[in-house]
Every structure is written in C-alpha cells, then in structure tokens.
Structure 1
C-alpha cells in the first residue's frame, strides 16, 4: 500500500472509531433503544450516509467490537501447528484469552466492558445479533474442521456448534461472576477450572476433533 493509500485507511479507521465511540457513549448514557441514528451522527459530526457507510445497522455499532472474534476459532484451527488437534488449539487459545483478560472470554472487570455486556444482555436486538454472531462462528469453524481435520461434514457441524456454544457459555458464566462484583483475578481460578472441564467433555464427545 502506498503512502496515500495508507493515509486514507488511517483516516477511515479514525472515522470508524469516532463514530463507534460516540455511539457507545450515547448508549451508555441513554440506553440503546432510546438513541437515534441521527443523534449518533450528530455526536460524531458525520452525516447519516457516512455513518451507514461504516455501520450498516445500529446493532453493528456495538457488535463490531467483537467482529475480530467472529471467525477466530476457524482461523485458530487453520493456523494450528502440524500434529496439534483442533480442540487443543482452541483450548490453548481460550486459556490465552483468560490469561490476557480478553473481554470475549467474559473475564474482564473493566467498567466499560462490563457496561457493554450489560447493555447487550438487556437489549433484544443486540442479543439477536450475538446469536447471529455465534451462527457465523459455528459455520466458519465447521468449514475449517472439514478442510483441516479429516472429519465428515455432519461431525464437523455438530462439533462446531457444540464448541461455539461452550465458549459462549463459559464467557457468560465469567461475566456473571465479575458483574456480581468479583474481581477478574479472583474469578480466574474457577474460570480456568470450568474451561478445563468443558474442553474435556468436548474431547470425549468428538473424538475425531479432539484426537491428535
């Protein structure tokens, strides 16, 4: 990419962040359903047309913060070292996320992260978008398993659905603990134990995915 192209991309990223930050601030202050697109555009000092060029829906203003994770499991499976089982690669990734207090694991007690999760769980349209998020994640993971793990289509789809559901449940359980007032560092040991048990159950149920 040339210098001009790089400058354009940086400018677009700054605009995207400005719109998202303005939206989240308004959502926290007034509630997701009470804020209009016009209010967001005004706060971000952009036109409605510009806003929709970056975020096609109001829900996207929130869910895009998780966008990198939508196909992360598929990328982990495709990028795992030779000889490593897909489930082991996903387990290692989730444990790394716990260690880093990655918000996607639910084990993060930063006020903004907690507020974001509370808003998602309290807003039906955001919950629906997160279900779609999980559906896309499951489909992408199933495709990666078929391509790299020598398992059939049915096993791949069932395994992917189970894995995505388990990851989601682990994250929700961690969030419930920290949102109840427990520091993330205090929740970490139980979060790790729960993840170990969950991945052991997955390995027992899907031998082709869990076996090396």
Structure 2
C-alpha cells in the first residue's frame, strides 16, 4: 500500500484550528453546561470568528462530537483495509480493541457522558449520529461481502458492533468486555453458557 501523501501546511493549520475550537467548546460545555454556552462564547475562547467556527462545524451540537467524520472513516478503513485472510468480525474486533478501549482512559469520559445524557439536544444528535455510523458500517460490510446494501445480516452486525462502547460502559475491564462480545458474535450464544447455565465472560462488580 502506498504511503499517504504528506499533509501540507494549510491542512495542518486547518486541523489545528478545528481542534482548538473543539477543545474550547468541550471545556466550556463541561464547565457551564451546553445550554448556557453560546456559539459566540466558544468562538471567543478559541480566538476565531463565528464564521470560521461554522466553516468547521455545521451546528452547535456538532462541536461536541468533533470526531464524527473520523469515526466513519476509521470504521470504513477497519473493514476495507483489513489484513488478507482476516474476516470482517475479527477486523471489527481489532478496531474496537485499539480505538474504543482507549477511550475508557480519558479522564473526561464520565463528565462527557453526563453532559450528553443530560442534554436532550445532544442525546438526540448522538442517536442520529449513531444511526449514520451504523448505516455507513453496514454498507461497507455488505460491499465487502458482495451482498445487497440493505442486507439484514450486515445491518445487524453493524449495529451490534457499534453497541459495544455502551456495553463496556461502567465495567472494570473494557478489553474483556470487547473480547466477550466478539466471541459471542463469532461462536454464538451457546458458547457463552457453561454447564449448569452460568454465563462466561461476566464482569461482576
């Protein structure tokens, strides 16, 4: 695979500005609440104009989910650029272990989750975003497997995989949670049941 072309100065500056805006927005929203902070407040904190802010983010809600586009790109790459001989499910497992597990170490995670869950506009935006990611992933899986775009199995796999960050929330060992869920996908429910009806891979507090 050829190396990616080097990122130019203009692109680096654009990315830095976007990151500065996103960082300023999250800091203000976490400290004061989403509704009490205006777009102008964010622009002033990031030292940009509101015009520049909207050139990077189409809405106030989008400021909170600044990685939305990169998530779609990474999900697509995880499936399409997987190593030869690796199945789609295992490619998604590898992606989850490298991308989603690390999120658990972010010290702002609990406050971020509370912000989104406690703000109806953000909760609704997050749900729509989740559906877009599911649609993207489902389409990519279907294309890779040579199936119809609306294939039910591909849609189910995409949605199940994207639920993993939620399933891992609040558990002591998110890596073990990811492994258990993907083992379930690969081997089925019966493999999770021990003789006597006990469920393997549980993460009890």
Place the TM-score, normalised by the shorter chain, in its bin: 0.7 to 0.9
Q: TM-score, length-normalised on structure 2?
A: 0.76
Q: TM-score, length-normalised on structure 1?
A: 0.74
Question: Which residue does 2:25 correspond to in 1?
Answer: 23
Provide closer, same or farther for how the CA distance between residues 26 and 138 of structure 1 changes in structure 2, counting only shifts above 3 A.
Answer: same
Shift of 1:78: 1.2
Q: Does 2:181 correspond to 1:195?
A: yes
Question: Which residue does 1:172 correspond to in 2?
Answer: 166
Give runs of aligned pairs for residues 28-177 of structure 1, distance below 5 A: 28-97=30-99, 101-103=101-103, 108-155=104-151, 158-177=152-171
- The gaps in structure 1 that reach 5 residues or longer are 178-185, 205-212
Question: Which residue does 2:193 correspond to in 1?
Answer: none
Given that 1:91 and 1:199 are in contact with CA atoms closer than 8 Å, whether structure 2 keeps it comes out as no
Provide closer, same or farther for how the CA distance between residues 167 and 33 of structure 1 changes in structure 2, counting only shifts above 3 A.
Answer: farther
Given that 1:166 and 1:198 are in contact with CA atoms closer than 8 Å, whether structure 2 keeps it comes out as no
- The gaps in structure 2 that reach 5 residues or longer are 191-205
Structure with bigger RCO (C-alpha 8 Å, 6+ apart): 1
Given that 1:80 and 1:89 are in contact with CA atoms closer than 8 Å, whether structure 2 keeps it comes out as yes
CA distance in 2, matches of 1:56, 1:12: 15
Runs of 4+ off more than 4 Å: 201-204
Given that 1:38 and 1:48 are in contact with CA atoms closer than 8 Å, whether structure 2 keeps it comes out as yes
1:45-88 alpha-carbon deviations (Å, 9 max, x no partner): 22111111111101111111343112433322211233332122
Q: Name whichever structure is richer in helix by fraction.
A: 1
